Amino acid sequence: MDCKTHAIPAMANGRVPLVDCLLEMPLFEGLGASAIARIATVVSEVDAPSGTVIFKQGDACRGLHIVVAGLVKLSLGAAQGDEQVVELAGPGGILGETAMFLDGPHVLIAEALADTRLAWVSKTTVLAELERTPEFTRGVIATLSRRLQHLLVALENCTLRSGTERVIGYLLSRLPTGPIDGRAMVTLPVKKGIIASQLNLTHEHFSRILRTLATEAMIEVDGRTVHIRDMARLRTYCLEP
């Protein structure tokens, strides 16, 4: 499937104009309305239906994709067809910044996991704005720093924590605000196999851990919905002798 790129409309299909979306994104934090308006004149809007491969490993990088709505999987692929999910990028997520700043090809595969709306900014525009606007430069540095911090946490999880600790940590990270009476409901955003890969687990290992937690009466799994029945014990489970 191909992405469809078009100029920014004032309003299309009832959607929020892209310029308004840019104002809410961390990358453009600190920019004034005039700077945002200037950037918006050279930003393209990209529609990527679910299943669209936005770019592949080895593709030339000509700019940044910014997720406006939807969900994108970033992964490493192997010749035998295996993949390692590196990140799931939701609204505000940046795609392709490493390749762009290193002036090299993309090293990851980006695939839309849902119908996704993207903003595309050319490499020329990004570099010119870095020279022109200190606030944009600080926004880029902050975005890259958050990405590095995220990857370091992921590395720590994969190397220093058990599979069970990783799964429990993932569930707790997706808790809604203010669980009631030690109970909560977590909805998995994607298929279990994708989450397993992101946690550096096999699908079978991930499912086995969920079954163990369910057997211990801490959770109940219904498709992509996980009902947490005993929050206190789930938080301390890995510390039990």
Does 34 lie in the same domain as 120?
yes
Pair (171, 93) in one structural domain = no
103 with 191, same domain: the answer is no
Residue 24 sits in a domain of what CATH number?
2.60.120.10
- If one counts the domains in the chain, the total is 2
Task: Quote the tokens at residue 74.
Answer: 């970033």
65 and 78 both lie in a single domain: yes
Q: Indicate whether 147 and 171 sit together in one domain.
A: no
**83 and 178 together in one domain:** no
If asked whether residues 77 and 63 sit together in one domain, one would say yes
Residues 200 and 149 placed together within one structural domain of the fold: no
Residues 220 and 108 grouped into a single domain: no
Condensed to tens digits (0 to 9), the pLDDT of residues 170-227 reads 999 888 876 667 788 999 999 999 999 999 999 999 999 999 999 999 999 999 999 9
Domain that holds residue 210: 161-239
State pLDDT tens for residues 20-71.
Answer: 788 788 888 777 778 888 888 888 999 999 999 999 999 999 999 999 999 9
Total-model pTM: 0.82
